[in-house]
């Protein structure tokens, strides 16, 4: 089973071997409202942990999507180009943003588990 971890900025990463799929949490997409535009990173780009990697715009606001760990972008979700609302429909599934070849797997261990993330959400709601 794939490991899923969360950041305090509401990104998630689902690890499958050395590749992590990255998106925003259900909570984050609810806060944004209807997503109207997504700017994805270029394949081959190296991102550092915490660095802006993508942008999501909604009818309410624009927000950065930060890399939860360092790595190289190996894929982007091209379905979001024509249908950014996919983020609202399935934020933690088919609405993913990009995939990273993780540079340091130990960085994933420093992120929150799903239970820890849920507890974190209770402190901000």
Domains of the chain: which residue ranges?
7-105+112-117
Structural tokens at position 44 = 């081959």
Tell me, what's the pLDDT at 21?
98
Class of domain 7-105+112-117 (CATH, top level): mainly beta
| Residue 108 per-residue DSSP state | H
Q: Which of 23, 25, 32, 43 is nearest to 120 (CA)?
A: 25
10-residue mean pLDDT series, the chain (125 residues): 89 96 97 96 98 96 96 97 94 97 95 96 90
d(CA 26, CA 45): 26
Tell me, what's the pLDDT at 1?
56
């Amino acid at each position: 089973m794939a490991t899923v971890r969360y950041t305090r900025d509401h990104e998630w990463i689902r690890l499958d071997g050395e590749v992590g799929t990255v998106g925003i949490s259900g909570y984050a997409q609810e806060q944004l409202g209807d997503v109207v535009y997504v700017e994805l990173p270029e394949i081959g780009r190296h991102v550092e942990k915490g660095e802006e990697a993508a942008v999501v715009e909604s009818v309410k606001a624009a927000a950065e999507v930060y890399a939860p760990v360092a790595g190289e972008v190996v894929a982007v979700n091209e379905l979001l180009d024509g249908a950014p609302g996919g983020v609202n429909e399935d934020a933690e599934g088919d609405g993913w943003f990009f995939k990273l070849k993780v540079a340091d797997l130990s960085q994933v261990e420093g992120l929150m588990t799903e239970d820890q993330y849920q507890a974190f959400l209770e402190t901000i709601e």
